[in-house]
Structure 1
Amino acid sequence: MYQPVSSGSDGDVRYANLDERKRKRMISNRESARRSRMRKQQHLGDLLNQVSKLQAENSQFVAKINSASQMYVKVESENNVLRAQLMELTDRLNSLNSLLRVMENVSGLNADVEELPDALLEPWQSPCPVQLPVMTNTADMFQF
């Protein structure tokens, strides 16, 4: 068999040092790769926890939005009922005022029939609208 020519024990030490350095480098690389895999696994776990928290938050927001939407529909419905009642009462008042005018003309008595002020019929056009309190914390808007 072929044996490498070496100058005594000096060559064996060089190969031994080279093999030892190679072995240490392999061990170091394996350890580094293991740490890298552990960091990657930890990062993945952190991301999965974050996804769970964000999904829970999202569900809470959806529930709050649905609740606010339901409240809006309820208030809108009540508002429509009140508008209809206002129109009905306005018509009744106008009819009564007309009747009083007719009676005033027939009897000759003064009934002092006053017209319904526009501010009462259209409060949004009132010169001094009612001031509603301003909420200082917008987060309070979604507290039900």
Structure 2
Amino acid sequence: MAPVQRPGSSGSDSDPRYANIDERKRKRMLSNRESARRSRMRKQKQLEDLVSEVGTLQKDNSQLSENINVTTQRYIEMVSANNVLRAQAVELTDRLRSLNSVLHIVEEVSGLDVEIPEIPDSLLEPWRLPCPIQPIMASVDMFEC
């Protein structure tokens, strides 16, 4: 009498050659599943790391942007203050010229020798102001409020 076969079975269950192949297939399947699980975990970790890095970079970018805005505002204030000082220098130079003209007239009319100050070249040509060459020193907290 022939052995009773289960439905869907080819009778290879008892053959050791096929049992060995089935065992290898099963082990390979388990190994593939574990490998896929590790791969998914790695990808999930990479995604979490990238999301964290995006948050850090956005925060850093925001801080840099704020520092740029503050520095730009300070620069605009300095330019404005320099413009005011230049206008005042021009006005004072004009006054000095007028006063010197009055002194020349007084000198001519009175015949007295009046000491008339020279107008310094730096006032007549402010773009030629002597500036000592000094290294620009930067510090870490230069841009902090």
Bin the TM-score by the shorter chain.
0.7 to 0.9
TM-score, normalised on structure 2?
0.84
Query: Mean alpha-carbon deviation: is it higher for 59-68 or for 134-143?
Result: 134-143
2:58 to 55, 59, 65: 55
Does 1:106 find its partner at 2:109?
yes
Map 1:64-103 → 2, pairs under 5 A: 64-103=67-106
Q: CA deviation at 1:118?
A: 0.7
Q: 1:124 to 1:86 in 2, by over 3 A?
A: same
C-alpha distance in 1 between matches for 2:64 and 2:27? 55
- Cα offset for 1:84? 1.0
TM-score (norm 1): 0.84
Flag the 1:13–1:35 CA change in 2: closer, same or farther, 3 A: same
The question of whether the paired residues in 1 share the 8 Å contact of 2:89 and 2:123 is answered with: no
Distance in 2, matches of 1:134 and 1:141, equals: 15
One of 113, 118, 142 as aligned partner of 1:115: 118
Return the structure number with greater relative CO, CA threshold 8 A, min gap 6. Answer: 2
Q: In structure 2, what is the equivalent of residue 24 of structure 1? A: 27
One-letter code aligned to 2:120: P
RMSD after superposition:
2.5
Match of 1:35 among 21, 24, 38: 38
2:135 aligns to what SS in structure 1? coil
SS in 1 for 2:96: helix
The number of residue pairs the alignment matches comes to 139
Counterpart position of 2:131: 130
Gaps of 5+ in 1: none
Question: Taking every aligned residue pair, what percent have the same amino acid on both sides?
Answer: 56
Q: Which runs of 5+ in 2 are unaligned?
A: none
